[in-house]
Amino acid sequence: MNSDVMLTYRCAPGIVWVKDATQTILVDADTGSSWQLGGWDAAVWDLLCLGYQTVEIVRFLALLLDITPKAAGRRLRDTLVQWEDNGVVCGTADGNRG
């Protein structure tokens, strides 16, 4: 993640989700689009919804996936960009949590 700007991401308005034993299912209440998250991306979703900062999530991913923090940052950035492009999350540079 870019250390010059601290972005915080939150669930986009209109997104509802449910967890079961193996996945998290996201649904856009406005469009009916849906996504299934499993594995580490479901863990990232949980951490975002709990209000964790991206730098904290990078540390968690590096440990969870046994990769370098730089590689974890790239994976997280790519995931968040994809989610933002799909309207699943909103990013802000204001430093507010959640």
Give the span between the Cα atoms of 12 and 69, in whole angstroms: 26
8 A C-beta contact, residue 25 and residue 15: no
Is 4's pLDDT higher than 60?
A: no
What angle separates helix 54-65 from helix 69-85, to the nearest 10 degrees?
Answer: 120
Cross-strand partners of 89: 11
Question: For residue range 28-82, what is the model confidence (pLDDT) as tens digits?
Answer: 999 999 999 999 999 999 999 998 999 999 999 999 999 999 999 999 999 999 9
pLDDT band at 1 (very low <50, low <70, confident <90, very high): very low
Task: Identify the pLDDT of residue 93.
Answer: 72
Give the span between the Cα atoms of 90 and 16, in whole angstroms: 14
Give the span between the Cα atoms of 76 and 85, in whole angstroms: 14
